[in-house]
Structure formats: C-alpha cells, structure tokens
Homo-oligomer: A and B are copies of this chain.
Amino acid sequence: MSGREFFTALTVAEALAGFRPARRTRVESVAREELLHRVPAADVLAPHALPGFARSTVDGYAVRAADTFGASDGLPAYLELAGTVRMGRAAEVAVPAHGAVAIPTGAMIPHGADAVVMVEYTAETMPGTIEVTRPVAPGGGVVGADDDVPVRGVLVPAGRPLRAPDLGLLASAGVSAVPVHARPRVAILSTGDEVVPPDTQELTAGQVRDATASALAGLIRDAGGDPVYAGIVPDDADALIEALRQALAEADLVVISAGSSVGARDETATAVAELGKIWCHGLAIKPGKPTMLAECDEIPLIGLPGNPLSALVVFRLVGVPLVWRLAGCDQPPPQPRTRARLTRNVASQAGRLDVIQVRLDQGPDTGLGAEPLHGPSALLSVLARADGCVLVPEPATGLDGGTEVDVMLYA
C-alpha cells in the first residue's frame, strides 16, 4: 500500500487494487465439523494415501485381466471361482491364474488380481465356474490405493474457503482439526445524534433506529467475519475518537457508519485522521461517494456513507472482499449472477460506477427481465425488495432498456 494520501475520488477497482492491508487474523485450530467456509492457513496434506488400498468400483469378479483377453459371447473365458471378498475386510484369498474371486463394489482387491470384471458380463454356469463374456483391461474396475490422494498430497489448499466436499475429504483422511485463520472481528461503529439502538421501543421526534449496523452484521457474517457492535456515538469529535480507539483495540477491521450530513462526515474524517492515515476519501460510485478508506496502526478502517442503502452497497463491493482477505482468502466464494434484460433505460454519469438495484421478473416470452427500482437512495426497503444489482461501468452514460446485463444476485 502506498504511503501517500489521496483525497480525490478513486474508482472502486482502484480502491480494491490499492487498498490491501497486510494484516491477517491469527491462526487457530478448528474441529472438522465447524470448518465449513473457514480458510485454511496452510495446505492440509494427506497423512496416508486415499483410499489407502486398491478397491473395486463395480460388483463382479476380481481376475487377472490377461485371463479375459479375447473373451466374447461366442467364446467365453472360463475361470475357477476361488472365493469371495467381504466388505471391510482384507481379502482372505488370492486370485490364481485362471481364477476369479467374487467382489462387491468398494471391497479390497485381492492379491493376484489386477482388474474386476462386471457381474453383468459373467455367469456362474456351473457351481464354481465363472463364464466371462467380455475382456477387461488391466486396472479396469479398480481404483488404485492412491488414486484419490497420494500420501502427503494436498487434501485442501490454503487460502480457499472450505466447501462441503472438502469436509468429506478431510474425514476420509481422518483429519479431525485444521489450522485456519480466525474469523475477522469487525467492529461496527454507528454515529449520528439521530440514531438510537434498534430495540428502542418508543422514538421521539427526529430519531431513527440504527438499521445499518444490523444489516452490516449480516454481510460480515456472510463474508466469514464476526461482527462486533461498538455502539452508537453522538456527533462529537472527542466521543468519536474515544470510541474509535476502543474499537481499534479489539478489532481486525473497523467500519464506521458515518453521519449523513457533510458536517458529520467531516467530523468523522477528522477523528480518523487523528488516529491513523486516510488512504482515500471519496469513491467514484453512486450511491456511496462519501466513502473513506484508512489504516490506523495496521487496522484497516472503512468510513461508510450515512444512509443505509449507500453504506450497504459500498460495503458489499469494498468491505466484503476485505473481510475475506483478512482471513487469508484472496478468492472469495463466487458471487451469484444472472443475465437479464433491463426493462427500461437507466441513466448514469460517466466517470463513476452506478449501482442500480433491480427486481427480476420472468416475462411470458421475453425472458428474464431486470426492472430498475427507483426511489431516493435513503430507502432501505429498495434494497430489501431488490433481487440484485446491475453495475453500470464508469465510462457508460446509461444503459438502454432491452440491454442484456449481468445482475449480481443477493443471496
């Protein structure tokens, strides 16, 4: 990260590329059953090969492949039944030349065999004699002892959030715990003389409940973080500095949902500048322009716009990748998207990213439509009603109705 301070509006792409705090959360050992979506701090290696022994992939007879060469319906191979392999046991019998051992799917290949012929191509024509009507190649019907993962092979890689199949792979290798990055603690500090806690039953005139903090907590959880409410601070420089100091002491990332007025925003910037370095103040995005990115003693800090919708739009684009990064993950899970046609024109201004909330509607024969939702950006209900958003890139001056667009879906 550059040490310079920028006070001009950056594009969102510039901010994402440039604001890359070095901080990572500490590493902790987490039990397998709690590992879903956690980020391994190092590659986890297989303590032994998987599956660990050669297994049959079909129900049939373990054989020497060479004994089946040329077998056909007209000229079957005849093999002597030498025994049966039981599931979950060592094969007690070896396969001799011109012999066959009955074997179910998943059982251990007996010594001497190098293939399994499927039961569909066999018949026990006489007791103890197996007729084989198709040849099987060496290795056919067999998974090798290390075909799934070799010993010391990578079971799950560092830096990618664990998914359901990874948990299965860890289980099959007997790995009961994995070192992962701790969930980033994200302190949420709300400001504003008008803002009161959400559980306030009776409001006095001019008061509003804190909506942004609860919504941010949801986005933080979705990004694998641990939201921590750091309280609501009145528009007072000293109170703000003190609250910030406390939040910084116990968080990996601090998010301030700043006051909505210009005066309140200036006060926030002054307080942050007191404690750290402002890296950029202003993003070329609508809604969300009055966004601040800063670093205070290596703790990154995001100052969000005062209105809830703007704050959430910015946090989704800028904050969510940062939460993942703090946990050692540079490739967050994929964002759901869909293609749809705009149902009407949207205006946008060249030079900034316009984020348009849309509702999806399946037309009778026009395909999936994306209807832009209007209304003042102050309205949280617009975001709750939206199925997703369309990003109108910086160079564009609007999009025509009918244009096929990429919709970022809210999950």
Measured CB to CB, the residues of A under 8 A from B are 32-33, 36, 50-53, 55, 57, 59, 85-91, 104-108, 119, 143, 147-149, 155-156, 163-174, 176, 192-196, 198-201, 203-219, 221-222, 235, 259-264, 306-309, 312, 333-338, 375-381, 383-384, 388, 409-411
B306 and A211 contacting across the interface, CB-CB below 8 Å: no
CB-defined contacts of A380 to chain B, threshold 8 Å: 50, 148, 165, 168-169, 172
* A214: B residues at CB distance < 8 A: 32-33, 167-168, 170-171
Q: Once the chains are docked, how many angstroms separate the CA of A376 from the CA of B308?
A: 50
Chain B residues, CB < 8 A from A51:
208, 378
Known: A36-B222, A306-B105, A381-B50. A207 touches B164 (CB 8 A): no
The answer on a CB contact under 8 Å between A167 and B217 is: yes
Pairwise interchain contact B205-A57, C-beta atoms closer than 8 A:
no
Most B-side CB within 10 Å, residue of A147, A199, A209 = A209
> Are B211 and A261 in contact, with the CB atoms below 8 A?
no
How far is A215 from B264 in the complex, measured between Cα atoms in Å?
49
Taking a contact as CB atoms under 8 Å apart, the answer to whether A169 and B211 are in contact is: yes
Instruction: Among B53, B198, B263, point to the contact of A171 (Cβ < 8 A).
Output: B198
Quick one: which of B33, B307, B333 contacts A336, CB cutoff 8 A?
Answer: B333
B215 lies within 8 A of A143 (CB): no
What are 16 residue pairs bridging A and B, where the CB atoms are less than 8 Å apart in the complex? A32-B198, A33-B214, A53-B206, A59-B263, A85-B206, A104-B261, A105-B260, A106-B192, A106-B378, A149-B381, A166-B384, A168-B380, A168-B384, A169-B215, A172-B208, A174-B198
Q: Is the CB of B337 within 8 A of A171?
A: no
